[in-house]
A = this chain, B = another copy of it.
């Protein structure tokens, strides 16, 4: 058997082998290869390694407490995944089912670009995981856990040889805890998720107009007046950093300035550009308050503050934000206008560049490397900074051409509700970046998904991040030619299940929220209908939710509606759309597909009626009624068109136009509940199919 370079071929070959040569004990049933992100190289072999209570691990080579903890965590996870009890603790030497060998330690403070590679060999007789340092071991253990599957003879991992390393050194998740605070517990759950998919940077967006979320001991009024009591103590921060380090994850704090700073200015109006007083912002959007870039008080304050935070956060990188300053307070302040004139600063962008330069000097003085959003890239900025691009690949590419390092976040905004497939298609080296020279491409360090939190609570945050974030993690780790969507979704669904063993709540949260909506008097039948409704719909995409809200949403708005309970990507609708595509391609000839599509349409058609009594009793259900009615009506339109077509009466062009318009109107109706009908394109396609003369009547 030869080396397989590309993961795509690897999966194809793996599938081929599964159904031809490779068998797991007595050729009973194949074991799927649900690794996500896909490894750089995969080579399958015959047979499998059985997982039972006799399973043991042992450490060969370098050993440290972090590895021991990783071993214990690994056994705990293996127990959760299989239900098997492993009484034996990890051994330091001697034979074991899985031998773990690291050559040496990783850096005391994890660094950008450290070796993260590992090799994993599994045969029916045992397994060996090797890595140059601890980081690779952490990654390899996750790969092993992903390979564990139930087969006809019990739990097993397929025989395989994997050589793996990441494509990009910076693979991050940003969580905004400013707009909605997230308890430490929620942060830790998501660090577990990041480890599972080999992400290595947690970008902690700690300050916002709506909240200042970190304890400052030098300036305790910051959190006292800026957080509603919802902030992390320094002990909690250190605990999270340790937790992340155990999982091979760096923690990069962000202190967004000079805009997005209302919560700072509540207690420290002396560094503001306006006259105050300021109050914690309760609405969403871009606001006027900004730090005063012309006052030395501001820099004195920031010098002290950055000194404190630079000590608290050990990572080399220090994020200074820099996005979305509207300049209104600057324009309104005569002193600032005078400063601009006297310093020959013509625009507010230049003024921000001046501020940014001063702050970067402070960050550098405190031995950190600044990172900031697009806006901080202005002429003359030192080449050491890193640009985080929310504007897009064009700005990232331009930065690389100028010699600046950058990471991509445009295309990875999880709050926009895009499908996993859409995020998956975004490549930090795609589009304009593809034309960069190899040397310039090296400057593009990777990317970060971003969880902005206007509509995110501790209850539903996991569902807004997972499982879609795993697709982004794969884009940043796996070879660039990993583009097979069917394979991606299969593995995404498998990993999504596994993430719940780790304690993530991205699926389990939903039942509780639906029960809240239904109320405790709801019957099993009503709950079942509500679940079917929730699983079919998605929340509105991009920034359209605000447009549909009955009243302006604020941080007081309860996140307890159906829109908060649906998954951002409906797997039911996705599978329906795949089936509808195949059915259309078969011109209605595939009767099994026809039955599947009809069954789904019939279920949706009936949902609204089944939910009428609930809508009478529960205000939260009543709010979802427009979407419920829209779904049932839309399904009915498609079903009737198909039925007529099968009877030999395809839609006329006029009928087709009118029904198509009706579907679009129903989509608008669903917006009344801030929801969207994700199967709408598939329904339109079914109308097309039902309009083709004679297509459905063979």
A residues adjacent to B (C-beta < 8 A): 28-29, 32, 34, 53, 80-85, 87, 89, 149-154, 228-229, 457, 459, 493-494, 497-498, 500-501, 507-508, 511-513, 515-521, 524, 555-556, 558-560, 564, 571-572, 575, 616-620, 622
What CA separation (Å) do A558 and B154 show in the bound complex? 12
Contact B520 A34 (CB under 8 A): yes
Contact B560 A83 (CB under 8 A): yes
- Indicate which residue in B81, B507, B512, B558 contacts A516 across the interface (CB closer than 8 Å): B81
Contact B28 A616 (CB under 8 A): yes
How far in angstroms is the closest Cβ of chain B from A595? 12
Residues of B within 8 A of A228 (CB): 87
Residues of B within 8 A of A85 (CB): 555-556, 558
Contact A622 B152 (CB under 8 A): yes
Contact B511 A620 (CB under 8 A): no
Contact A494 B511 (CB under 8 A): no
How far in angstroms is the closest Cβ of chain B from A626? 16
Q: Provide 28 A-B residue pairs closer than 8 Å at the C-beta atoms, listed in order of the A residue.
A: A28-B616, A28-B617, A29-B616, A32-B520, A32-B521, A53-B558, A82-B516, A83-B564, A85-B556, A149-B520, A149-B521, A150-B519, A150-B619, A150-B620, A151-B519, A151-B617, A151-B618, A152-B618, A153-B619, A493-B520, A494-B520, A494-B521, A497-B515, A500-B512, A508-B508, A508-B511, A508-B512, A524-B575
Residues of B within 8 A of A618 (CB): 150-152
How far in angstroms is the closest Cβ of chain B from A656? 31
Contact A498 B524 (CB under 8 A): no
What CA separation (Å) do A500 and B516 show in the bound complex? 11
Count the copies.
Answer: 2
Closest 9 CB pairs of A and B: A83-B560, A494-B520, A150-B519, A29-B617, A84-B558, A83-B558, A154-B619, A150-B618, A508-B508
Residues of B within 8 A of A501 (CB): 512
Contact B83 A516 (CB under 8 A): yes
What CA separation (Å) do A80 and B493 show in the bound complex? 28
Give the residue name and chain of the B residue nearest to A521 (CB): B32
Contact A520 B497 (CB under 8 A): yes
How far in angstroms is the closest Cβ of chain B from A532? 11
What CA separation (Å) do A565 and B107 show in the bound complex? 44
How far in angstroms is the closest Cβ of chain B from A239? 17
Contact A556 B617 (CB under 8 A): no
Contact B619 A519 (CB under 8 A): no
- Indicate which residue in B80, B81, B152, B571 contacts A616 across the interface (CB closer than 8 Å): B152
Give the residue name and chain of the B residue nearest to A535 (CB): B524
What CA separation (Å) do A151 and B572 show in the bound complex? 30
Give the residue name and chain of the B residue nearest to A155 (CB): B619
Residues of B within 8 A of A564 (CB): 83
Contact A82 B560 (CB under 8 A): yes
Give the residue name and chain of the B residue nearest to A501 (CB): B512
